[in-house]
């Protein structure tokens, strides 16, 4: 019992209270009456890195959900006069040394006489302050509500704000990353959801029935795990017709990703099922006259849901990387769909990287998302079983 | 008792564990003396600090644990056996340094409750004993192997020449514990710390191991610090007994006195709460209620004011026991008790001699 | 020789539980197709009976089959062979081994079990109300407010406060958890309780509390116990009669007083002599066993104990002894049960 007290913040034991059985009114009563999820939460809250990761991921998913509003421009909007523009520099002090709200200078485009590439020079006479809630490109929020309100921008089509620069066609990289998050961050969720169903059902069957079913499922897993992932994906992806609608391709890509993803979860579920069957409290439930269904639902499932959540969280980064890899190789999603992987296709050759290094910024987002999921999974794993002291 | 009879002296030892949710005072002011060739039994319930005391002695306290106060003096008998001793302050040594490693496993060695955890599962019994011998003694491998076989024969391992090449999992629990004892004794230590070495064993195997340890002690002349919760085992093994409760030694005296005339209410409570095999069974009395100590051991983060036993004590003195911590009282030479009940009977303070 | 049967009313002179030839073999499987390559004879033709209101102790070393025997009685483990006759208040006299699924549910209302490990035996994700109420709800004995009242009553009975009902097991120490397990076992007001090492995981001072509680409840509720344990002092304290098991068989069964003062099986003698006594005075005689417990997958011929027995003769190697009643109520499985004069751990008072 003592080890658990560790997860209860601000706990202060009164001297001798536990010797005389504490009355229902002591401060610890809240801890004593806390169920599994409450304990998991308390324990999770003590894991700083995981909490930080949770906040970062929350922001990323917020961006993905409200991409139309959060991004300054339409991701397909081509600013013809500003192609391949490096990231804008944001100033708070003007040429006369006065402090002002963040602003950017206007830009003058020229061409390099040798390479014929556009070169931008700052025009310090024109100042474009960065404003919140500006009107700009029109969009239909979630395809439903028409609006033209954006969280931030210059609000002036003469000088758009390119925080992460623009690509060859003059599209805003930041806006594209925000839109791309939609696909890249959800492909993981949906893939994991499919893995979850497959893993839970097949792992559960193997663990509950044992014997031949168990053998069969485990051998299938052995075979799947031994297949090299990238060639398999490539083969499957190559089989997808190129003229399918984007949504359908997207859906099939997630299925391809989850074909390999379910195996680890099935193993977790099977193992937990096998070990829980041997628990004294499960035998006791049987002797209490609980039905098989009750035993599974009330005694066994709650025993490993937290483990499932952990292993799902840990599986998401793999899915995100999978989508990125597939699209980068050109066998997953294609333009005009926007995903981080698709964006990285533009940065495939050394020349581009040398001249437009800002096109690599989606990588930073991929790394951030993957790292944060791993941190979150770490924290969840530590908190998953609050009953182990 | 002449001074050179003392082997280890623990003075006011405090070993605390600093956890996020509070300080666990695992050992909270322990004084103990282990004499040469003597068996000291340390008894107490779980969480009383008996194992941590022994780990402190070997400086094996894992972080976040730390010895915060007190000292452990090791009176190392010099090689010539001329009666002179080197005094080593174990608490002052670097826990990973050369000196403590020279003591650990060589002059003071340890046997744990679960023999499987004390041995590596991937190496044979012989390899592990030979390694222990070669680490501390300057002998070649053939000689070490010879000594290892000798040692296995000493612990009455059947067919030691063959068992030496067995892996631990090939041995039964009792045989494994014999192998561990052989390993612990391979360097002829001055002190053997035995931490519940028979708790995981069946009663007939336990009897064999206890018998073995007694005869080995006679042969090799070492001191034993025997840690257990089983009062029966203490009665069989120990000459001197220390009873611990919540990180403190509450009573210490010779084995006869502790069982026949215990003074501390906790010792008395422990003794009367164990079922006895005595004449009352013969009378066929069904309802022989056991005396019991009320309540339970408080959780380790608690720090009680006054005597740590006062909330459970049947003889508690109001406004005294819950306020003032009792000091060590020597009711007579050789019998220490930490209890206010005996404060008036004798003047408190250390005994004139041990 | 005094009558060693417990004093009992004439109506209940027929035992509450009779076990005849109870056998449980666990198959040893190997290879991909799980072929059976051998049998572990965990319980091997065990006979005993338990009178209403008494406590039968079942002792033996680890792996001797005592726990398996206890679990077979509830069909928590399916026995391989044998009969378990139980006087059920509703069903009448039934052979538990032959009951169908529905009937076994009914019998489990009257035969309950207490587990050894107070941590593993309570579902950490359920409140005390759900844990103690589980048998009542699942057996359809109570629901709603009635169930809550009954749980409150059970908690009070085992010495816990009814307001703890909304707490989870993590709020309690080992001893308190064992009380919760006891409340759950007794909630349907059973007749018979299999106590599987209920105090061996507890500290000495807490162990005494639970032993006293078990005795009090036995008196109050008219319970009958099968008390499975390895600690002989505890068994001697709580049992009216004691059965000693060795490698799947009962080798001796007698009243506690007889067994501890004048055992008739050499294994019992060795077992008693090995108990460490909390008494610093030297022991008179000590029998130390040599060798190891026999392997139940590959037991020796004849009497399983003969390789370790100091009294063994030729016949012991070849013939398995019968389980004989050598004096009224004293059964021994030894060829020389009538002849040997062995030493107990307690001396008979001089008469």
Residue A56 confidence (pLDDT) above 90: yes
Please report the beta strands in chain A, taking only residues with DSSP state E, as ranges in sequence order.
91-93, 99-111, 118-129, 131-141, 145-153
Q: Measured at the alpha carbon of residue B193, what is the angle toward residues B187 and B194, in degrees to the nearest 5? A: 110
Task: Report the complex ipTM.
Answer: 0.85
Q: What pLDDT score does B83 carry?
A: 65
Domains of chain B from N-terminus onward: 1-97+190-205+223-281+290-304 (3.40.50.300), 108-188 (no CATH)
B45 with C276: Cβ contact below 8 A: no
Q: What pLDDT score does C158 carry?
A: 93
* A15 and B CB contact within 8 Å: yes
- The DSSP symbol for A86 reads P
Question: Among the three residues A338, A353, A372, which one is the final residue of a domain in this structure?
Answer: A338
Q: Do A110 and A250 lie in a common domain?
A: no
Question: How large is the C-alpha radius of gyration of chain B?
Answer: 21
Q: With contact defined as beta carbons under 8 Å apart, do B179 and B168 qualify?
A: yes
User: Residue A99 domain-assigned?
Assistant: yes
For the domain that residue A301 is a member of, what is the CATH number? Answer: 1.10.3720.10
What range defines the domain where residue A139 resides? Answer: 79-171
Of A211, A280, A289, the CB nearest to C121: A280
Q: What pLDDT score does B81 carry?
A: 60
Q: What pLDDT score does A7 carry?
A: 37
Q: How many CB atoms lie within 10 A of CB B345?
A: 11
Question: Among the three residues A171, A197, A226, which one is the final residue of a domain in this structure?
Answer: A171
Q: Do A128 and A220 lie in a common domain?
A: no
C115-144 burial code (b ≥16 CB/10 A, e <16): bbbbbbbbbbbbbbbbbbbbbbbbbebbee
Domains in chain A, number: 2
User: Residue A238 domain-assigned?
Assistant: yes
Which of the other chains make 3 or more beta carbon contacts under 8 angstroms with chain C? A, B
Please report the beta strands in C5-154, taking only residues with DSSP state E, as ranges in sequence order.
17-30, 35-50, 55-59, 81-88, 92-95, 111-114
The tokens of C151 are what?
């749980």
Q: Do A164 and A223 lie in a common domain?
A: no
Q: How many CB atoms lie within 10 A of CB A124?
A: 11
- The pLDDT confidence band at residue B227, using thresholds 50, 70 and 90, is very high
CA distance A287 to C190: 12
H or E segment and range at residue C327: strand C324-327
Q: Do A247 and A289 lie in a common domain?
A: yes
The tokens of C58 are what?
């079942």
B298 with A20: Cβ contact below 8 A: no
Q: What's the Cα-to-Cα distance from B296 to each of A196, B275, C114, C202, C325, rounded to whole Å?
A: 45, 18, 21, 11, 45
Q: What pLDDT score does A94 carry?
A: 78
How far, rounded to the nearest angstrom, does the alpha carbon of residue B4 sit from its chain's CA centroid? 21
The tokens of B242 are what?
């220390």
Q: Do A333 and A245 lie in a common domain?
A: yes
Q: Which candidate, B342, B318, B321, B322, places its Cα nearest to that of B330?
A: B342
Residues A336-369 have pLDDT tens digits of 788 888 888 877 777 777 788 888 888 888 889 8
B-proximal residues of A, 38-57, CB under 8 Å:
46
Q: Which candidate, C182, C285, B337, A147, places its Cα nearest to that of B348?
A: B337
DSSP letter string over C74-110?
Answer: TTSS--SEEEEEEEETTTEEEEGGG--HHHHHHHTTT
User: Residue A15 domain-assigned?
Assistant: no
User: Residue A283 domain-assigned?
Assistant: yes
User: Residue A46 domain-assigned?
Assistant: no
Of A4, A35, A294, the CB nearest to C125: A35
Average pLDDT, chain B: 86
Specify the long-range contacts of residues A349-352, CB closer than 8 Å, at least 24 apart: none
10-residue block means of pLDDT along chain C (351 residues)?
Answer: 39 82 89 78 93 94 91 93 92 91 92 92 92 93 91 93 89 91 95 94 89 93 94 92 94 93 92 88 77 84 91 92 91 91 70 39
Contacts with A143 (C-beta within 8 Å, 6 or more apart), sequence order: none
Q: List C332's β-bridge partners, or say none.
A: C252, C324
> How many angstroms away from the CA of C71 is the closest CA of chain A?
10
Query: What value does the mean pLDDT take over residues B166-178?
Result: 86
Q: What pLDDT score does C112 carry?
A: 95
Q: What pLDDT score does B104 carry?
A: 87
Q: Which residue of B has its CA nearest to C270?
A: B204
Q: With contact defined as beta carbons under 8 Å apart, do A266 and A221 qualify?
A: yes
Question: How large is the C-alpha radius of gyration of chain A?
Answer: 27
Residues A98-118 have pLDDT tens digits of 888 888 888 888 887 777 777
Residue B82 confidence (pLDDT) above 60: yes
Average pLDDT, chain A: 79
CA distance B250 to B336: 8
CA distance A104 to C23: 88
CA distance A338 to B326: 76
Q: Do A289 and A316 lie in a common domain?
A: yes
Q: Please give the residue that has the higher pLDDT: either B54 or A137.
A: B54
Q: With contact defined as beta carbons under 8 Å apart, do C271 and B203 qualify?
A: yes
DSSP letter string over C182-230?
Answer: HHHHHTT--SEEEEESTTTTS-HHHHHHHHHHHHHHHHHHT-EEEEEES
- The DSSP symbol for C216 reads H
Of B21, B303, B304, the CB nearest to A11: B21
Q: List B349's β-bridge partners, or say none.
A: B329
Contacts with B306 (C-beta within 8 Å, 6 or more apart), sequence order: B320, B321, B322, B323, B324, B325
How far, rounded to the nearest angstrom, does the alpha carbon of residue C275 sit from its chain's CA centroid? 19
Number of residues written out for chain C: 351
Query: What value does the mean pLDDT take over residues B118-142?
Result: 87
Q: What pLDDT score does C6 carry?
A: 42
> Measured over all CA atoms, what is the biggest interatomic distance in chain C, rounded to whole angstroms?
68
Residues of A in Cβ contact (< 8 Å) with C181? 284
Q: What pLDDT score does B285 carry?
A: 61
Model-level pTM? Answer: 0.82
SS3 A316: helix
Q: With contact defined as beta carbons under 8 Å apart, do C252 and C58 qualify?
A: no
Residue A220 confidence (pLDDT) above 50: yes
Q: Which candidate, A244, A299, A233, places its Cα nearest to that of A272?
A: A299
Contacts with A371 (C-beta within 8 Å, 6 or more apart), sequence order: A53
Size of interface A-B (CB pairs under 8 A): 35
User: Residue A228 domain-assigned?
Assistant: yes
């Amino acid at each position: 019992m003592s080890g658990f007290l560790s997860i209860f913040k601000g706990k202060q034991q009164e001297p001798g209270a536990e010797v005389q059985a504490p009355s229902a009114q002591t401060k610890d009563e809240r801890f004593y009456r806390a169920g599994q999820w409450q304990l998991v939460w308390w324990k999770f809250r003590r894991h700083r890195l995981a909490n930080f990761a949770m906040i970062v991921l929350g922001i990323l998913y917020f961006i993905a959900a409200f991409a139309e509003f959060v991004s300054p421009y339409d991701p397909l909007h081509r600013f013809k006069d500003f192609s391949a523009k490096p990231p804008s520099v944001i100033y708070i002090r003007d040429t006369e040394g006065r402090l002002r709200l963040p602003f950017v200078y206007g830009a003058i485009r020229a061409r390099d006489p040798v390479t014929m590439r556009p070169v931008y020079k700052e025009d310090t006479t024109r100042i474009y302050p960065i404003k919140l809630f500006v009107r700009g490109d029109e969009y239909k929020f979630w395809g439903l509500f028409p609006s033209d309100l954006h969280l931030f921008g210059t609000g002036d089509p003469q000088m758009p704000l390119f925080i992460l620069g623009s690509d060859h066609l003059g599209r805003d990289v930041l806006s594209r990353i925000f839109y791309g998050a939609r696909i890249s961050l959800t492909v993981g969720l949906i893939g994991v959801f499919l893995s979850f169903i497959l893993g839970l059902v097949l792992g559960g069957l193997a663990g509950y029935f044992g014997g031949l079913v168990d053998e069969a499922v485990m051998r299938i897993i052995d075979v799947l795990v031994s297949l090299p992932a990238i060639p398999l994906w490539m083969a499957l992806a190559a089989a997808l017709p190129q003229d399918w609608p984007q949504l359908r391709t997207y859906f099939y890509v997630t299925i391809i990703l989850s074909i390999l993803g379910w195996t680890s979860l099935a193993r977790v579920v099977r193992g937990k099922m096998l070990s829980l069957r041997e628990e004294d409290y499960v035998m006791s439930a049987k002797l209490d006259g609980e039905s098989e269904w009750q035993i599974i639902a009330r005694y066994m499932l709650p025993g490993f849901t937290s483990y499932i959540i952990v292993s799902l969280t840990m599986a998401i980064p793999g899915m995100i990387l999978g989508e990125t890899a597939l699209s980068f190789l050109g066998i997953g999603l294609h333009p005009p769909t926007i995903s981080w992987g698709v964006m990285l296709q533009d940065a495939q050759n050394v020349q581009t990287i040398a001249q437009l290094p800002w096109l690599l910024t989606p990588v930073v987002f991929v790394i951030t998302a993957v790292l944060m999921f791993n941190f979150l999974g770490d924290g969840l794993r530590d908190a998953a079983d609050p009953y182990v002291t | 008792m002449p001074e050179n009879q003392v082997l280890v002296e623990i003075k006011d030892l405090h070993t605390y564990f600093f956890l996020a949710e509070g300080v666990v005072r695992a050992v909270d002011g322990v004084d103990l003396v282990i004499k040469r060739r003597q068996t000291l039994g340390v008894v107490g319930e779980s969480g009383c600090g008996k194992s941590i005391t022994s780990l402190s002695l070997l400086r094996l306290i894992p972080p976040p644990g730390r010895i915060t106060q007190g000292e452990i003096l090791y009176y190392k008998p010099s090689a010539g056996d001329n009666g002179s001793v080197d005094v080593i302050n174990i608490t002052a040594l670097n826990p990973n340094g050369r000196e403590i490693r020279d003591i650990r496993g060589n002059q003071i060695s340890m046997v744990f409750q679960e023999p499987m955890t004390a041995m590596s599962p991937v190496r044979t019994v012989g390899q592990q004993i030979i390694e222990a011998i070669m680490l501390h003694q300057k002998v070649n491998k053939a000689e070490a192997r010879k000594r290892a076989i000798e040692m296995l024969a000493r612990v009455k391992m059947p067919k030691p020449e063959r068992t030496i090449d067995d892996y631990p999992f090939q041995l039964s629990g009792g045989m494994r514990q014999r192998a561990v004892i052989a390993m612990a004794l391979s360097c002829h230590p001055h002190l053997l710390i035995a931490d519940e070495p028979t708790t995981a064993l069946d009663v007939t195997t336990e009897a064999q191991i206890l018998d073995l340890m007694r005869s080995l002690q006679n042969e090799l002349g070492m001191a034993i610090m025997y840690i257990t919760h089983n009062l029966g085992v203490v009665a069989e093994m120990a000459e001197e007994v220390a009873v611990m409760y919540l990180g403190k030694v509450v009573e210490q005296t010779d084995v006869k006195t502790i069982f026949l005339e215990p003074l501390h209410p906790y010792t008395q409570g422990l003794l009367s709460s164990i079922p006895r095999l005595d004449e009352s069974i013969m009378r066929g009395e069904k309802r022989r209620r056991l005396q019991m100590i009320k309540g339970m051991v408080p959780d380790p983060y608690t720090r009680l004011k006054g005597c740590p036993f006062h909330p459970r004590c049947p003889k508690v003195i109001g406004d005294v026991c819950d306020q003032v911590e009792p000091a060590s009282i020597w009711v007579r030479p050789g019998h220490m008790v930490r209890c206010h009940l005996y404060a008036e009977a004798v003047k408190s303070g250390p005994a004139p001699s041990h | 020789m005094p009558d060693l049967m417990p004093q009992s009313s004439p109506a209940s002179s027929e035992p509450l539980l009779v076990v005849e030839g109870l056998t449980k073999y666990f198959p040893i499987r190997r290879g991909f197709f799980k072929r059976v390559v051998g049998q572990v004879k965990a319980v091997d033709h065990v006979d005993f009976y338990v009178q209403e209101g008494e406590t039968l102790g079942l002792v033996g070393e680890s792996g001797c089959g005592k726990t398996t025997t206890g679990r077979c009685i509830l069909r928590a483990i399916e026995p391989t062979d044998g009969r378990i006759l139980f006087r059920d208040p509703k069903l009448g006299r039934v052979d538990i081994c032959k009951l169908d699924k529905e009937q076994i549910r009914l019998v489990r209302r009257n035969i309950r079990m207490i587990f050894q490990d107070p941590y593993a035996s309570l579902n950490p994700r359920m409140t005390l109300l759900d844990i103690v109420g589980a048998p009542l709800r699942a057996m359809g004995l109570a629901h709603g407010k009635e169930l809550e009242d009954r749980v409150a009553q059970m908690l009070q009975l085992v010495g816990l406060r009814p307001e703890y009902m909304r707490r989870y097991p993590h709020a309690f120490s080992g001893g308190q958890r064992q009380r919760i397990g006891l409340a759950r076992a007794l909630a349907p007001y059973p007749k018979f309780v299999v106590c599987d090492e209920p105090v061996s995981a507890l500290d000495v001072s807490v162990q005494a509390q639970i032993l006293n509680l078990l005795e009090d409840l036995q008196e109050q509720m008219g319970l009958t116990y099968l008390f499975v344990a390895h600690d002989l002092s505890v068994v001697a304290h709580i049992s009216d009669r004691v059965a000693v098991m060795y490698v799947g068989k009962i080798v001796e069964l007698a009243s506690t007083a007889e067994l501890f003062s004048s055992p008739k099986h050499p294994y019992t003698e060795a077992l008693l002599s090995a108990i460490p006594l909390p008494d610093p005075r030297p022991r008179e005689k000590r029998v130390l066993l040599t060798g190891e417990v026999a392997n139940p997958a590959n037991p020796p011929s004849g009497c399983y104990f003969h390789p370790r027995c100091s009294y063994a003769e030729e016949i012991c190697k070849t013939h398995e002894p019968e389980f004989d009643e050598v004096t009224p109520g004293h059964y021994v499985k030894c060829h020389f049960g009538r002849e040997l004069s062995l030493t107990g751990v307690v001396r008979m008072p001089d008469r």
